[in-house]
Amino acid sequence: MNILNSINDFNEAKSVIPGGVNSPVRAFQSVGGNPRMIKKAYECYLIDEDNNKYIDFIQSWGPLILGHKDSDVIESIKKALERGVGYGAPTTAETKLAKEIISSYDGVEKIRLVSSGTEATMSALRLARAYSNKDDIIKFDGCYHGHSDSLLVSAGSGCATFGNPSSPGVPNDFSKHTLVARYNDLASLQACFESSNNVACVIIEPIAGNMGLVPADKDFIKGVRELCDKFSALLIFDEVMSGFRASLQGSLAYYDIVPDLVTFGKVIGGGLPLAAFGGRSDIMDLLSPQGSVYQAGTLSGNPIAVAAGYATLIKIKQTKNIYQNLERLAIKLTEGMKQKANEFGFSMQTCVRGSMFGFFFNDNYVKNFEIAKQSDTKLFARFHQKMLERGVYFAPSTFECGFICTAMNEEIINKVIEDCEVVFSELKNA
């Protein structure tokens, strides 16, 4: 495969952009090789600057459940563009999108639109602290909630502990208010609560997608809700990735647990920068201008992004059996991959939630970040490189999940499974 243009273009990018990318995982440092510089995309395919074609299982990291350049979404964007690119004033389109989100998710009575998942989770935390009049928060090791200071915190030597900054530039004075528990471990969460009488909230990805795809156990999520109620802390579900991806109701289709606040992103913007946070009215009404908790954004509710998101949600709701069909393809893919891996002596763990899927080269079932980190990342890197050479674009990290879109079909999935067989054979005989 010729990638000379990608190599040259990436080297040029590195001269003006730190690392050559505007989001770190795109740099391929976890898997090696040169990132592909993408020129265009359509349906479920990416085309790079050397005109190589790839089956895309990233789908812009989740938003494109309808695939690239969906005709209805593009048409909605074009109509919005004809009216202007932004106003800095309220629009009826924002209200329509808000109603669509609220109508799909139990417990969300009001919602505020923002521009990124990081902004949504950061704002939800501020709101939770104001509502509870407490300072500390609890997160889980392996869950990613954006790059705000309070959340760039990893577990210390034990998981029931105040965390350590996981990036230079994050003051210890910030991280000392963040406790880190072990995912799918109620005893760890209980210990966090017992180590502080100042916990405002617990934030969790109920379907974690940032340590690979690792869903919470049903009993665990139930226990998290009960502990939050016991210690008078709010429960925040981060559904930036899983919202409208795992199901029309996000994680609620898998757990009969309603959070106090929830954050959305990805799908609700249809591929454009848009996110949101919402919850009960008595909490949301604390936001300025109605309340005293300040949050603002010049581009919040941008009409082009709102148009793309609204068109996406409407089409999802109008497409019969969309999640069942996407899940069927995801199961077919992961089961086929696992079978081929096992045939050549490689251990693989797989998981599917709706249109989301994940796989690990690991001997053990992965239920938390501790076990995920035991995966064979070197084997994953070699697998990724060889699949990319065959035109299959998986996420360039063991600790990311993949996505199925409506532009995919059984023929495409069968092709990928056949490619896996060839690649596993090559890896076995290397």
Query: Which residue reads 């990342």 in tokens?
Result: 377
Split at pLDDT 50, 70, 90, the class of 176 is: confident
Split at pLDDT 50, 70, 90, the class of 336 is: very high
pTM reported for the whole predicted model: 0.95
- What is the phi/psi pair of residue 12, to 5°? -65, -40
Tell me, yes or no, whether 333 and 407 share the same domain: yes
Domain that holds residue 64: 4-69+321-428
Return d(Cα 75, Cα 131) in angstroms, integer: 41
Tell me, yes or no, whether 312 and 204 share the same domain: yes
Split at pLDDT 50, 70, 90, the class of 160 is: very low
Return d(Cα 170, Cα 152) in angstroms, integer: 8
Tell me, yes or no, whether 114 and 213 share the same domain: yes
Split at pLDDT 50, 70, 90, the class of 163 is: low
Tens of pLDDT, residues 215-235: 999 999 999 999 999 999 999
Give the three-state DSSP class for 123: helix
Average pLDDT over residues 279-289: 98
Tell me, yes or no, whether 116 and 141 share the same domain: yes
Please identify, among 289, 318, 347, the residue that sits at the C-terminal boundary of a domain: 318
Strand ranges (E), 222-372 = 234-239, 261-264, 275-279, 349-353, 356-360
Please identify, among 292, 318, 344, the residue that sits at the C-terminal boundary of a domain: 318
Contact 325, 214 (CB under 8 A): no
Tell me, yes or no, whether 20 and 152 share the same domain: no
Tens of pLDDT, residues 342-399: 999 999 999 999 999 999 999 999 999 999 999 999 999 999 999 999 999 999 999 9
Tell me, yes or no, whether 332 and 301 share the same domain: no
Return d(Cα 227, Cα 205) in angstroms, integer: 16
Q: What is the pLDDT of residue 157?
A: 39
Strand partners, 153: 165
Which helix or strand (DSSP H or E) is residue 191 part of? helix 186-194
Query: Which contacts qualify for 386-389: CB closer than 8 Å, 24 or more apart?
Result: 386/423, 386/426, 386/427, 387/419, 387/420, 387/423, 388/33, 388/36, 388/54, 389/1
CATH number of the domain where residue 57 is located: 3.90.1150.10
Q: What is the pLDDT of residue 430?
A: 78
Q: What is the pLDDT of residue 346?
A: 98
Return d(Cα 58, Cα 36) in angstroms, integer: 13
Q: Which amino acid makes up residue 59? A: Q
Tell me, yes or no, whether 170 and 279 share the same domain: yes
- Is the pLDDT score of 155 beyond 60? no
Please identify, among 300, 318, 336, the residue that sits at the C-terminal boundary of a domain: 318
Strand partners, 275: 114
For residue 50, count CB atoms less than 10 angstroms from its CB and return exposed for 0-12, middle for 13-18, buried for 19 or more. middle
Return d(Cα 402, Cα 32) in angstroms, integer: 19
Q: Which residue has the higher pLDDT, 157 or 287?
A: 287
Return d(Cα 207, Cα 269) in angstroms, integer: 20
Q: Distance of alpha carbon 131 from its chain centroid, rounded?
A: 26
Catalytic residues: 144, 238, 266
Q: What is the pLDDT of residue 149?
A: 76
Tell me, yes or no, whether 212 and 77 share the same domain: yes
Tell me, yes or no, whether 356 and 307 share the same domain: no
CATH number of the domain where residue 211 is located: 3.40.640.10
Tell me, yes or no, whether 241 and 119 share the same domain: yes
- Is the pLDDT score of 264 beyond 60? yes
Return d(Cα 151, Cα 174) in angstroms, integer: 9
Tell me, yes or no, whether 391 and 424 share the same domain: yes
What is the number of domains present in the chain? 2
Helix, strand, coil: what percent of the chain each, to 5? 40, 20, 40
Return d(Cα 114, Cα 100) in angstroms, integer: 16
Tell me, yes or no, whether 378 and 276 share the same domain: no
Split at pLDDT 50, 70, 90, the class of 165 is: low
Split at pLDDT 50, 70, 90, the class of 158 is: very low
Q: What is the pLDDT of residue 150?
A: 77
